[in-house]
Amino acid sequence: MVAYRAGVPLRAGNFLADVMRVAAALPERRHVLNACVDRYRFTVAFAASLVANKVSLLPSTHTPEVIRQLMQFAPDVFCLTDDARCQIDLPRVRFPDLTPTGDGSLHWPPIEIEHDRLAAYVFTSGSTGTPLPYQKTWGRLVNCVRFEAQRLGLLDGRAHTLVGTVPPQHMYGFESTVLLALQSGTAFSAGRPFYPADISSELASVPAPRMLVSTPVHLRTLLGSDVELPELNLVLSATAPLSQNLAREVEEHYATRLLEIYGSTETGQIATRRTAQTVEWQLFDGVRLFAQGESAFAEGGHVEQRTPMCDVLEITAADRFLLHGRQSDLVNIAGKRSSLAYLNHQLNAIPGVVDGAFFVREPEEASPSGVTRVAAVVVAPGLSPADLSEALRQRIDPVFMPRPLLFVDCLPRNDTGKLPHDSLRALAAAAMKRT
């Protein structure tokens, strides 16, 4: 079994027949932007591109600016889409209508994909600047998700089914809902539910044992709703650090096990932890970390080359480390140091806070003395500014109190729950004009 679309099972024979039909329909161009929303169609399109010796371009967003950058990077790029309303400004190829034929039995000969075949370029999210491309060969991608499958316990012979709330174009969704399924015998749901009721319905439409691939934002929303979920064997989280309290709540409320994935666009996934039980991360087999000055580098295993990490990592053992936040998140005010990740954690841990984020004010917005200042935007409809400020004072050093503390209706998070820097600053600027 490969996938379920609206509860209908699709087997390996169905999948390979669809792959060959789509591969035959692709144009001669070398680079393809896979914009398919349906996870099964995305997976078919990716495999068809491999078979046709094309390279998939997988940015995490499709804004006009990102598309302009893609055209500069690969002038021959075309867009393969299953959405009749797609407005992406590229030559567009419509994903063909596919009708399942036969019983899905496997009659196709093996299709060999070379280990060193360039399979895709993935792009950083742009949350801290311009998205950057990183090449991914087929063999390294396969090795990465096989290590992941082993760590998650998906090689025990049971036919798991996964449901993802993250898009397949994002590196996390690409690895943990598409490649993981193809390389572990795990079936996946074609949908991408967003709201709690939709997540529950999608999980109920597939057989147990079930695995939910999600983010801290979605998990927090699920817990805050009154929607019950079908039995969950495993929950996987990534895209932002998960607090131990939230991880414990998820495990207790849904009687399940939660694992968190650590990685980057540059390296792919390299470590996991069971957050409810430990703050330490355990590296995948073969991957090594080493410190050089104040920076940490990853190498070995499936990591393509020695790669600097953008996070502050404390190596605690040969295969373990602690995560202290992103290097760009470090804040130094009046000789005192903290990180935006720590401040965000304290803000979001306050009862009544639905969502919130700190940011460093631009130099021209700093105090008259030139001292760096931080500000924050928060969604907390049941709290007054005075009550929230008092709760923050109990948790953080006074020098890191946000000035201003802006109340908004919602934060401009993208599909994976991240906050692009430009969007956050634009929201804060609009909120400050109203105050």
Per-residue pLDDT of 373-407, as tens digits, reads 888 999 999 999 999 999 999 888 888 899 889 99
Residue 268 · residue 175 · CB < 8 Å: yes
Segment 236-247 shows an average pLDDT of 89
Q: Are residues 165 and 55 in the same domain?
A: yes
Q: Are residues 116 and 240 in the same domain?
A: yes
- Name the CA radius of gyration of the chain, rounded: 22
Averaged confidence pLDDT in the chain = 89
In a domain, 329, yes or no: no
Segment 144-154 shows an average pLDDT of 94
What's the domain range around 172?
3-324
Identify the band that residue 368 occupies on the pLDDT scale cut at 50, 70 and 90: very low
Domain boundary among 324, 354, 378: 324
User: What pTM does this model have?
Assistant: 0.81
Q: Are residues 236 and 374 in the same domain?
A: no
pLDDT of 370 over the 60 cut: no
Q: Which residues contact 108 (CB under 8 A, 6 or more apart)?
A: 13, 16, 17, 20
Residue 189 · residue 163 · CB < 8 Å: yes
**What CATH code is carried by the domain that includes residue 343?**
3.30.300.30
Residue of higher predicted confidence among 152 and 417: 152
Domain count, the chain: 2
Tokens 């094309």: give the residue.
Answer: 54
Q: Are residues 287 and 428 in the same domain?
A: no
Domain boundary among 324, 347, 378: 324
| Residue 160 to residue 210: CA distance in whole angstroms | 6
| Amino acid at the residue 317 | A
- pLDDT value for 373: 83
Q: What is the pLDDT of residues 322-348, one digit of tens each?
A: 998 776 677 777 667 777 888 888 898
